[in-house]
Amino acid sequence: MKTLSYSYTEAFAQEMDQNDSLRKFREHFFFPKVNGQEALYFCGNSLGLQPKSVKDYLNKELNNWAEMAVDGHFHGEDAWYHIRKKSKPALAEILGAQEHEVVAMNNLTVNLHLLMVTFYQPTKERYKILIEAGAFPSDQYMLESQVKWHGLDPETTIIEIKPREGEHTLRTEDIVAEIKRHGKELALVNMAGLQYYSGQLFDMKAITKAAHEVGALAGFDLAHAAGNAPLSLHDWEVDFATWCSYKYLNSGPGNVSGIYIHEKYADRPDLPRFAGWWGHNEAQRFLMEKGFIPMFGADGWQLANSNVLALAAHQASLDIFQKAGIKNLRKKSELLTGYLEFLIQEISGESGILEIITPENPSERGCQLSLLIHQGGKAVFDEWYQHGVVGDWRNPNVIRLAPAPLYNSFMDVFRFAKILEQSLNKFAL
């Protein structure tokens, strides 16, 4: 990408917005208000904004329920029996997967547990799991309980790799070296795709390759990567992954998750799994007979029938993603996040108050920047909020800001910069 010369001027931000081919998508979302004014919303890494079309998508299914009741499973434009299939094209594009490798279902941690049943089969010789230190608590708790379920000790089974002394992010070569070091004992690498605290986007291709070379499997929690960072799970030969849809995928609080399972496992009925009715052979499902026969691909890991209303809200956002195009969103994301980075550095200068701990290289991050606050603590965050900035505070002293390319503008970033400049003058010692 050609290097862009940024400028801390309103005219520059306005020009960037005028030349933005994705600017119209901002109008597709509701923005919250703070103190009666439309917020500068940089918190899509926790909860994406509501698409205005969600009500129509939900009302359509509510009407189907009202007018057809149980017959809605097999009749109507989107019969509920097959409703999961509607989201597959968009999910496959976002994740860099084949349609049969993905399916929307359950919630993220539930899916992690289900995937561990299949992909974590410890032996006496090969039982260890590698994860990044400071992983999101859900992942930590999930792994601890899975390890204990197998009668193992989390302290000796789970390997937590930390950044080097004085650094905030992991080096790919250090991750690969750690994988090789534990080679014969390593059963699984189960990391985040994008680290929630630092905002670091891991090299999943290199990590997966290293894991496979020592005989281990590789799976990723893509909660902060799906809809945010470029993914090619199939080509990278990632074994499995899961994500949530309420962050960058803007599908509503706590909404449906999804799973990816590489096609090498698509027709493997011998694999251990927790089975359910909806994962059984679709053509024979209503024979109501014993003997589980899994469906082809990721669908064979389903348990219960689809949550129709959840999928309707999910689809409202996915349709917007397909219109915008994930590659177009990525191009804008790099520019928008780069502008935020430029303005923070331009304004904070040598003040020593702020430190960006997210990697500078655009290929090693998504649209999130994590700011380490050296002076003022949470008071800085609270000050920003009073001026309409909705970000995310993470203990002990990090503010996460995520300018989402689907609905944030360059003027949003410029307006934040003016608030930042004002607050630094207040908190500088």
For the annotated binding site for pyridoxal 5'-phosphate, the residues are: 108-109, 136-139, 221, 224, 246, 277, 305
- Asked whether 391 and 384 are in contact (CB, 8 A), the reply is yes
What 3-state class would DSSP assign to 161?
strand
Provide the terminal-to-terminal Cα distance of the chain, rounded to the nearest Å: 39
- Asked whether 53 and 316 are in contact (CB, 8 A), the reply is yes
- Count Cβ atoms within 10 A of the Cβ of residue 130 and give its class: 0-12 exposed, 13-18 middle, 19 or more buried: buried
Rounded CA separation 301/267 (Å): 12
The size of the chain, in residues, is 429
- Asked whether 241 and 222 are in contact (CB, 8 A), the reply is yes
What are the phi and psi torsion angles at 363 (to 5°)?
-75, -5
Instruction: Name, in order, each residue with C-beta under 8 angstroms of 290's C-beta and a sequence gap of 6 or more.
Output: none
DSSP strand pairing (158-161 vs 128-132): parallel
DSSP strand pairing (240-244 vs 102-104): unpaired
Rounded CA separation 212/189 (Å): 10
Alpha helices in 120-256 (DSSP H): 137-149, 154-157, 172-181, 204-213, 233-236
Of 315, 286, 311, 282, nearest to 299 by C-alpha is 282
- Asked whether 238 and 204 are in contact (CB, 8 A), the reply is yes
Binding residues: 108-109, 136-139, 221, 224, 246, 277, 305
Of 179, 77, 189, 195, nearest to 135 by C-alpha is 195
